[in-house]
Amino acid sequence: MADNKRRLAVFCSGTGSNFRALQHAILERGIPAEFELCLSNRSQCGAFEFAQEHGIETLHLSEKQFGSYEEFEEAMVRALMVRGIDLILLAGYMRKVPDAVVAAFPDRILNIHPALLPKFGGEGMYGIHVHAAVLAAGEAESGATVHVVNEEYDKGRIVMQRRVPVMPGDTPEALADRVLECEHALYPDALEKILEEQP
Ligand code: GRF
Protein backbone atom coordinates (compact mmCIF):
# COMPACT_ATOMS: atom_id res chain seq x y z
CA MET A 1 0.00 0.00 0.00
CA ALA A 2 1.38 3.44 -0.88
CA ASP A 3 2.23 5.76 1.98
CA ASN A 4 4.07 9.03 2.25
CA LYS A 5 7.03 7.68 4.16
CA ARG A 6 10.40 8.67 2.80
CA ARG A 7 12.50 5.66 1.81
CA LEU A 8 15.89 5.76 3.54
CA ALA A 9 19.16 3.94 3.01
CA VAL A 10 21.85 4.02 5.67
CA PHE A 11 25.53 3.40 4.90
CA CYS A 12 27.63 2.07 7.79
CA SER A 13 30.98 0.43 8.41
CA GLY A 14 30.90 -0.18 12.14
CA THR A 15 28.72 -0.25 15.22
CA GLY A 16 26.01 1.87 13.70
CA SER A 17 25.08 3.61 16.94
CA ASN A 18 23.85 6.60 14.92
CA PHE A 19 21.75 4.25 12.77
CA ARG A 20 20.25 2.81 15.96
CA ALA A 21 19.50 6.29 17.33
CA LEU A 22 17.85 7.26 14.03
CA GLN A 23 15.71 4.13 13.92
CA HIS A 24 14.59 4.61 17.51
CA ALA A 25 13.70 8.26 16.88
CA ILE A 26 11.77 7.39 13.71
CA LEU A 27 9.65 4.89 15.64
CA GLU A 28 9.23 6.98 18.80
CA ARG A 29 8.49 10.31 17.13
CA GLY A 30 6.63 8.94 14.14
CA ILE A 31 9.05 10.59 11.71
CA PRO A 32 7.58 9.88 8.23
CA ALA A 33 10.48 7.79 7.01
CA GLU A 34 11.54 4.17 6.90
CA PHE A 35 14.88 2.42 6.50
CA GLU A 36 14.68 0.22 3.41
CA LEU A 37 18.34 -0.68 3.23
CA CYS A 38 21.49 -0.84 5.33
CA LEU A 39 24.54 -0.89 3.06
CA SER A 40 28.08 -1.61 4.19
CA ASN A 41 31.52 -2.08 2.69
CA ARG A 42 31.99 -4.80 5.30
CA SER A 43 30.34 -8.21 5.23
CA GLN A 44 29.76 -8.14 8.99
CA CYS A 45 29.32 -5.19 11.30
CA GLY A 46 27.22 -4.08 14.26
CA ALA A 47 24.98 -2.08 11.97
CA PHE A 48 24.08 -5.23 10.01
CA GLU A 49 23.18 -7.07 13.22
CA PHE A 50 20.86 -4.25 14.23
CA ALA A 51 19.32 -4.08 10.74
CA GLN A 52 18.68 -7.83 10.72
CA GLU A 53 17.03 -7.67 14.15
CA HIS A 54 14.72 -4.98 12.80
CA GLY A 55 13.85 -6.59 9.48
CA ILE A 56 15.82 -4.05 7.47
CA GLU A 57 17.50 -5.40 4.36
CA THR A 58 21.30 -5.51 4.43
CA LEU A 59 23.61 -5.26 1.44
CA HIS A 60 27.36 -5.83 1.48
CA LEU A 61 28.86 -3.90 -1.41
CA SER A 62 32.59 -3.59 -1.85
CA GLU A 63 34.85 -2.63 -4.75
CA LYS A 64 36.55 -6.01 -4.36
CA GLN A 65 33.41 -7.76 -5.63
CA PHE A 66 33.70 -6.05 -9.03
CA GLY A 67 36.11 -6.02 -11.94
CA SER A 68 36.35 -2.23 -11.97
CA TYR A 69 35.44 0.80 -9.89
CA GLU A 70 32.91 1.85 -12.55
CA GLU A 71 31.05 -1.45 -12.19
CA PHE A 72 31.03 -1.02 -8.41
CA GLU A 73 29.62 2.53 -8.71
CA GLU A 74 26.96 1.41 -11.17
CA ALA A 75 25.92 -1.48 -8.93
CA MET A 76 25.54 0.88 -5.99
CA VAL A 77 23.44 3.36 -7.96
CA ARG A 78 21.28 0.52 -9.27
CA ALA A 79 20.78 -0.98 -5.80
CA LEU A 80 19.55 2.38 -4.53
CA MET A 81 17.36 3.12 -7.57
CA VAL A 82 15.59 -0.25 -7.67
CA ARG A 83 14.62 0.18 -4.02
CA GLY A 84 13.26 3.67 -4.70
CA ILE A 85 15.55 5.28 -2.12
CA ASP A 86 14.78 8.97 -1.49
CA LEU A 87 17.48 9.83 1.00
CA ILE A 88 20.82 8.32 2.01
CA LEU A 89 22.18 8.73 5.53
CA LEU A 90 25.86 8.06 6.13
CA ALA A 91 26.46 6.82 9.65
CA GLY A 92 30.07 5.86 10.17
CA TYR A 93 30.63 4.82 6.53
CA MET A 94 34.40 4.69 6.20
CA ARG A 95 34.56 4.93 2.41
CA LYS A 96 34.17 7.79 -0.02
CA VAL A 97 30.70 7.75 -1.56
CA PRO A 98 31.26 7.11 -5.29
CA ASP A 99 30.81 10.16 -7.50
CA ALA A 100 28.15 8.35 -9.54
CA VAL A 101 26.05 7.97 -6.38
CA VAL A 102 26.54 11.64 -5.42
CA ALA A 103 25.50 12.63 -8.96
CA ALA A 104 22.42 10.40 -8.84
CA PHE A 105 21.33 11.75 -5.42
CA PRO A 106 22.05 15.49 -5.46
CA ASP A 107 21.19 17.06 -2.08
CA ARG A 108 19.89 13.65 -0.99
CA ILE A 109 22.87 12.35 0.97
CA LEU A 110 23.59 13.38 4.56
CA ASN A 111 26.61 12.69 6.72
CA ILE A 112 27.34 13.21 10.40
CA HIS A 113 30.80 14.42 11.35
CA PRO A 114 32.10 14.44 14.93
CA ALA A 115 33.30 18.07 15.01
CA LEU A 116 32.17 21.59 14.23
CA LEU A 117 32.78 21.84 10.49
CA PRO A 118 34.35 23.57 8.59
CA LYS A 119 37.01 23.09 11.26
CA PHE A 120 38.47 19.60 11.77
CA GLY A 121 37.13 18.15 8.53
CA GLY A 122 38.63 16.80 5.33
CA GLU A 123 40.80 13.86 4.46
CA GLY A 124 42.31 12.05 7.46
CA MET A 125 39.88 13.68 9.87
CA TYR A 126 37.92 10.70 11.09
CA GLY A 127 37.43 8.80 14.32
CA ILE A 128 39.76 9.52 17.19
CA HIS A 129 42.00 11.71 14.97
CA VAL A 130 39.31 14.40 14.98
CA HIS A 131 39.07 14.58 18.76
CA ALA A 132 42.87 14.48 19.19
CA ALA A 133 43.15 17.43 16.77
CA VAL A 134 40.47 19.40 18.63
CA LEU A 135 42.34 18.91 21.93
CA ALA A 136 45.74 19.70 20.35
CA ALA A 137 44.31 22.96 19.03
CA GLY A 138 43.19 23.94 22.54
CA GLU A 139 39.55 24.42 21.52
CA ALA A 140 37.09 25.28 24.30
CA GLU A 141 34.30 23.39 22.56
CA SER A 142 33.63 20.75 19.97
CA GLY A 143 30.43 19.20 18.69
CA ALA A 144 28.81 17.47 15.76
CA THR A 145 27.72 18.51 12.29
CA VAL A 146 25.17 17.06 9.90
CA HIS A 147 25.90 18.14 6.35
CA VAL A 148 24.93 17.39 2.78
CA VAL A 149 27.45 15.22 0.93
CA ASN A 150 28.94 16.50 -2.31
CA GLU A 151 32.10 15.53 -4.20
CA GLU A 152 34.45 17.06 -1.62
CA TYR A 153 35.05 15.53 1.82
CA ASP A 154 33.10 17.34 4.56
CA LYS A 155 32.43 20.41 2.38
CA GLY A 156 28.69 20.17 1.63
CA ARG A 157 26.03 22.52 3.03
CA ILE A 158 25.69 22.36 6.80
CA VAL A 159 22.19 21.26 7.85
CA MET A 160 22.58 21.38 11.64
CA GLN A 161 25.28 21.63 14.31
CA ARG A 162 25.34 21.14 18.04
CA ARG A 163 28.08 22.07 20.51
CA VAL A 164 29.59 20.26 23.48
CA PRO A 165 32.18 21.66 25.89
CA VAL A 166 35.76 20.46 26.02
CA MET A 167 36.44 19.64 29.68
CA PRO A 168 39.72 20.13 31.55
CA GLY A 169 41.77 16.95 31.38
CA ASP A 170 39.77 15.55 28.44
CA THR A 171 41.30 12.66 26.54
CA PRO A 172 40.37 12.12 22.88
CA GLU A 173 38.30 9.10 24.02
CA ALA A 174 36.37 11.07 26.65
CA LEU A 175 35.64 13.82 24.15
CA ALA A 176 34.60 11.22 21.55
CA ASP A 177 32.04 9.77 23.98
CA ARG A 178 30.56 13.21 24.72
CA VAL A 179 30.37 14.08 21.01
CA LEU A 180 28.82 10.70 20.11
CA GLU A 181 26.04 11.22 22.65
CA CYS A 182 25.41 14.61 21.06
CA GLU A 183 25.35 12.99 17.59
CA HIS A 184 22.60 10.60 18.66
CA ALA A 185 20.33 13.53 19.46
CA LEU A 186 21.41 15.70 16.55
CA TYR A 187 21.04 13.28 13.62
CA PRO A 188 17.31 12.59 14.13
CA ASP A 189 16.65 16.34 14.52
CA ALA A 190 18.55 17.02 11.30
CA LEU A 191 16.61 14.28 9.51
CA GLU A 192 13.32 15.86 10.57
CA LYS A 193 14.54 19.26 9.35
CA ILE A 194 15.56 17.86 5.95
CA LEU A 195 12.23 16.06 5.53
CA GLU A 196 10.41 19.33 6.22
CA GLU A 197 12.64 21.20 3.74
CA GLN A 198 12.24 18.56 1.02
CA PRO A 199 8.54 17.68 1.02
C1 GRF B 1 30.48 8.84 14.39
O2 GRF B 1 31.33 9.50 15.29
C3 GRF B 1 30.27 9.71 13.18
O4 GRF B 1 30.35 11.08 13.45
C5 GRF B 1 31.39 9.31 12.27
O6 GRF B 1 31.57 7.94 12.52
C7 GRF B 1 31.11 7.59 13.81
C8 GRF B 1 30.12 6.48 13.62
O9 GRF B 1 29.76 5.84 14.78
N10 GRF B 1 31.10 9.66 10.91
P11 GRF B 1 28.57 4.81 14.78
O12 GRF B 1 28.93 3.67 13.85
O13 GRF B 1 27.32 5.52 14.36
O14 GRF B 1 28.51 4.35 16.20
Residue pLDDT, tens place only, 159-177: 999 999 999 999 999 999 9
CA angle 130, 14, 154 (to 5 degrees): 40
Mean pLDDT on 60-77: 97
Nearest CA to ligand 1 atom 5: 92
With a Cβ cut-off of 6 Å, ligand 1 is lined by: 12, 14-18, 91-92, 112-114, 180, 183
* Band of pLDDT at residue 53, cut at 50, 70 and 90: very high
Mean pLDDT value of segment 75-84:
98
Active-site hit among 113, 129, 131, 147: 113
| Cβ contact 21:184 at 8 Å | yes
Q: Residues of the chain with pLDDT > 90: what percent?
A: 92
Confidence label for 154 from pLDDT (cuts 50, 70 and 90): confident
Provide the pLDDT confidence category of residue 1 given band limits of 50, 70 and 90.
very low
- Res. 41: pLDDT tops 70: yes
Q: Considering the domain 1-105 in this protein, what is its CATH number?
A: 3.40.50.170
- Annotated domain spans of the chain: 1-105, 111-199
Tell me the CA–centroid distance for residue 67 and ligand 1, in Å: 30
pLDDT band at 152 (very low <50, low <70, confident <90, very high): confident
Is-catalytic flag, 113? yes
Pick the closest to residue 14 from 108, 124, 90, 110 (CA basis): 90
Q: At the topology level of CATH, where does 111-199 sit?
A: Rossmann fold (3.40.50)
